[in-house]
Structure 1
Amino acid sequence: MTQATVSAPTTAPLSLTSGRLPRFIEPAAFAASLVVVAVVQLLLGGFEIATWLVFSAVLYLIAIGVFSSIVEGRRKATDRVVRGLVTSAFVLAVAPLISTLWTVVSKGMGVLSWSFVTQVGGTAFDADTLEVVATPGALQAIVGTLITTGIAALISVPIGILAAVYLVEYAQPTNPLRRAITFLVDVMTGIPSIVAGLFAFSLFALIVGPKAFSGFSASIALCVLMIPIVIRSTEEMLRLVPNELREASFALGVPRSITIIKIVLRTAASGIITGVVLAVARVVGETAPIFIAASFTDNFNADPFNGPMQTLPVMAYTAYSFPGQDIDASQAQAWGAALLLVILVVIFNLIARIVAKVFAPKAR
């Protein structure tokens, strides 16, 4: 009996890897796309930066998709194209911010100086030369901004935090009052800022008369905008506190109020303070409600209960929209006020970052 030998068919080994484009293909393809689109635009007799960038991005996505599908396969090509789309979306989102910052800094640095920050600006009539002399200065606007925003924060922060504590710690999900407060907070979050200014001016006009312009009136308008932000941010931070901490405190016989103060609020202190500072940074640049409620003035006024008060956003708006005889000087002063406002917002955001790190539970 002979044993038949069966020979196994010879097959090529399966390849677990496919071809791969070199690492420099993406920047090289994008650079080539920039060159090609630029040459085409110059041949057509015109060159626009926005059109150049948009068509270069489109050409790059097409080129990288074709090359990758030929060498690496369809799945890798899809990955590269989607990554290119995400990067393009990021660039489109950041470009307006960078452009705005560059415009404000480039035009505001020319007028920004120590004297501009420390002296009161305005216009005065020179009897000798019979000319109206404009003095650059933003001290009255800086003081007015800090006063109105500070009063708004002093009113809004306790109300917002206490309302959030009630919604999270005391009110039941089926409580009608809780539903009403949540609905009103959602409505107030999307309310136009000019409506808040009209509300504050109408309220004080009924109390003190038609000449109701004051810094306190502007602060009330900012409170309408700031309270829902504080409530929503504080509510979310309180919900992140684990229920085990509350239950452990209750198991030790600690009352609910002490548990909230000592355990819940201290655990969420970092997020709460960050939300408060960001809410302040949000309302400090409002123009419409302050313009309606506090009006504007070139005189220095540090009394929030008496007379109009100047702020940085209103100063930038009025100097640019209603320039004096020297239009260039008025516009320069507007850009200087805008730059000061940007610096103030950056300071608030840095304070929020520092406070978040200091009061974080891990740091303690």
Structure 2
Amino acid sequence: MQNNPAAASPRAFDFTSASFLIVAFLTGIAGALQTPTLSLFLTNEVHVRPAMVGFFFTGSAVIGILVSQFLAGRSDRKGDRKSLIVFCCVLGVLACVLFAWNRNYFILLFIGVFLSSFGSTANPQMFALAREHADRTGREAVMFSSILRAQVSLAWVIGPPLAYALAMGFGFTVMYLSAAVAFVVCGVMVWLFLPTMPKLKVAASGSIEAPRRNRRDALLLFVICTLMWGTNSLYIINMPLFIINELHLPEKLAGLMMGTAAGLEIPTMLIAGYYAKRFGKRFLMRIAIVAGLLFYVGMLTVHTPALLLAMQLLNAIYIGILAGIGMLYFQDLMPGQAGSATTLYSNTTRVGWIIAGSLAGVVAELWSYHAVFWIALGMCVAGFACLMRIKDV
């Protein structure tokens, strides 16, 4: 009697794994069609100054943290994570439709960003569901999560160049409607093919909290990841305008640089996932942050298209390891709290946006786009100092 389930299990898991891969790609595409061009959209379509562009990113991050943290706690305690992801996809569609046709700065900031915050939360919730699924089926969580992260990077290979092509060739309305289609397909895939994971009962004494030492390290890791994502956010906000306005290089180069980095992140994530057990997550994170230091030194000194593209290898190592290992580091430090750990990691990107949004526009307006990369370099140094104090897992 036990042979049938055992025989069926690999086929069922393979199909479910394929569904997770497609959903990861679609959530990545939905974000990659919107984020890289947002500063250009606000500058050219909404007609706001650089400081207001930065403020938009900051406000967006604050609203996103409030929304995602609320949903994370709720998803770990009760409810079906799968239904929550579908709900987030629906609100993501509404956000894309609003951005497609509305050009009022404050409506976009307060209503559009509120809706899009739900849409962006679909991604960390999908990773939390994938971690729970891997744990309950006995699969190796590190490589599974690394492959899913690689799918998101694959989306970022395709997304930024496609976003620039759609925005410059057909207009921002078509670009945002394309992102809406990605959310629609993603919601349908989740509803039809991803597993429902019932919540396991926890004893009343209850303790799924991490030990005190782990909480200290989780806080340190939050600071490290925030600083690292903050530098990346400064880069995403600043780089297109730096390339176009100060270096006077073609607009398409910005999309090509983002796509090249994302493409190189895929093998980086897979290699990091493979070697995580052998070398430890802390060692890999140190490699990442050293690559980041070299990358931002390069952004301050290199101004030719070929070298800017070549430097994306350093950027890929920096972000690829952070994206592939950072989330797993949080999950290991917070056992039994996959939703909260994944969302805490996801919120490091949002706090990074707050820091970047506050700094990028003001520094660019007071000094130059070039000066923003000095801030990024300083944040890398601070992140490395914090990383020296965290334990390995």
**TM-score, structure 2 normalization:** 0.27
- Decide which structure has the larger Cα Rg and report it: 1
State TM-score, norm by structure 1. 0.28
Considering fraction of residues, name the structure with more helix.
2
